[in-house]
Chains A and B, each alone.
Chain A
């Protein structure tokens, strides 16, 4: 009897030791990802860095009080807000925003950029789906490391989810977890859950700054029909249609779709309905998100090559082409930037009294030729007050 108890105790100690050996390193990795400070270097065009709470005090001291980079030409003109990181598992949107902050010099009008619109969602990934925690971009000075994220805000910042998410103010019933989806909670509310508060903060900012053009950067799986396209609110349809035609005729295929009027919570619907801004969403292809993908790792995230997605394409199951060259991050960020640029150009054509002009935005051909890393600045070489951590 005594031997049996002794054996049981030894076994328990061994099991606890094994458990600690797994949970301590695993927990440390998760904590390191959540607390990683991602550097953004202020380029020559950045005149001010504000916080989202400057317009909306109700997001102060929350993980989503993100930095808003202001690029003010000092010359009257139009104004544009570009947000990356609505879905941090779509890195081209984030990196496009970073290239704007680190390169663009405005010459007319004002540009606002949020690199991590849903910062909370960038502090969690999907270990169950084998998502990498970080990704690295090769640059002229070495590697720049960025946090990989998820589609939804971190449950540590918003828990529990409701049984059914009732969208405010439409009362439309949406999937429960989409109460943490920054692209299902527009226009939000100041006393809602953190993701709803974040979208409301952006709405308040857009109204306060009289934003003319609002661009929400995204990526999409090739199995999804809304891909390689600009989704536009009906008020912005003319601008989007012209941008789509100009890009498709001259550079690369970029479609245009109307924002569905009855599907609520999306930025292109609610920003257009609740503010005077012209709302656009840009979708470029990201094979990493396809459910039929094979090995899920940093290489797939950045190179966009996958034999299973290719096979799905050969079977006619995809809405975008894919071949052995895949969809690399240079192409995806480049297309996002060129699309933003074309939207700005077309907007200026329709509304010449609200011009937005700038220099040094890396375009698709530049990025593909020189590599994305060529357009990222070295935080180690920048002055301390010109580096912001997200």
Chain B
């Protein structure tokens, strides 16, 4: 059971990283300042989780 939990945990970190990359891509493509700010704010929890800070 612990092995399954560990695998699922790693998958969630991978999902968080992928979502983070998508947000960064959207940020790079964006030309609207409000959307840039929004993407930056939304990105924060994903970065903090992938880096295992929060």
**Chain A residues with a Cβ under 8 A of chain B:** 4, 8, 11-12, 15-16, 18-19, 22-23, 27, 30-31, 34, 124, 156, 159-160, 191-193
Q: Are B44 and A23 in contact (CB under 8 A)?
A: yes
A8-B31, A16-B40, A18-B40 in contact; A23/B48 too (CB < 8 A)? yes
Q: Assess whether B19 is interfacial by the CB under 8 Å rule.
A: no
Cross-chain pairs A/B with CB under 8 angstroms, 29 sampled: A4-B31, A8-B31, A11-B33, A12-B36, A15-B27, A15-B33, A15-B36, A15-B37, A16-B40, A18-B40, A19-B40, A19-B43, A19-B44, A22-B44, A23-B44, A23-B47, A23-B48, A27-B48, A27-B51, A30-B48, A30-B53, A30-B54, A31-B53, A34-B53, A124-B54, A156-B52, A159-B9, A160-B8, A160-B12
Minimum CB–CB distance for A30 against chain B, Å:
5
> In the complex, which residues of chain A have a beta carbon less than 8 angstroms from the beta carbon of B8?
160
> In residues 5-54 of chain B, which contact A (Cβ within 8 Å)?
5, 8-9, 12, 27-28, 31, 33, 36-37, 40, 43-44, 47-49, 51-54
Residue total for B at the interface (Cβ-Cβ under 8 A): 22
> What CA separation (Å) do A4 and B54 show in the bound complex?
37
A15-B36, A27-B48 in contact; A159/B12 too (CB < 8 A)? yes
Closest to B5 in A: A193
> What CA separation (Å) do A34 and B54 show in the bound complex?
9
> In the complex, which residues of chain B have a beta carbon less than 8 angstroms from the beta carbon of A23?
44, 47-48
> In the complex, which residues of chain B have a beta carbon less than 8 angstroms from the beta carbon of A156?
49, 52, 54
Closest to A18 in B: B40
Closest to B1 in A: A191
Minimum CB–CB distance for B32 against chain A, Å:
9
> In the complex, which residues of chain B have a beta carbon less than 8 angstroms from the beta carbon of A31?
53
Closest to B40 in A: A19
> In the complex, which residues of chain B have a beta carbon less than 8 angstroms from the beta carbon of A159?
9, 12
Minimum CB–CB distance for B47 against chain A, Å:
7
> In the complex, which residues of chain B have a beta carbon less than 8 angstroms from the beta carbon of A18?
40
Q: Are B53 and A27 in contact (CB under 8 A)?
A: yes
> What CA separation (Å) do A22 and B44 show in the bound complex?
9
Q: Are B9 and A160 in contact (CB under 8 A)?
A: yes
Q: A27-B54, A160-B12 provided; 10 other pairs, C-beta below 8 A?
A: A12-B28, A18-B40, A19-B40, A19-B44, A23-B44, A23-B48, A27-B51, A31-B53, A124-B54, A192-B2
Closest to A189 in B: B1
Nearest 5 A-B pairs (CB), nearest first?
A19-B40, A191-B1, A15-B36, A27-B53, A30-B54
> In the complex, which residues of chain A have a beta carbon less than 8 angstroms from the beta carbon of B43?
19
> In the complex, which residues of chain A have a beta carbon less than 8 angstroms from the beta carbon of B40?
15-16, 18-19
> What CA separation (Å) do A192 and B1 show in the bound complex?
7
Minimum CB–CB distance for A348 against chain B, Å:
42
> In the complex, which residues of chain A have a beta carbon less than 8 angstroms from the beta carbon of B54?
27, 30, 124, 156
> What CA separation (Å) do A87 and B33 show in the bound complex?
43
> What CA separation (Å) do A30 and B47 show in the bound complex?
13
Minimum CB–CB distance for B19 against chain A, Å:
14
Minimum CB–CB distance for A161 against chain B, Å:
10
> What CA separation (Å) do A30 and B48 show in the bound complex?
10
Minimum CB–CB distance for B21 against chain A, Å:
15
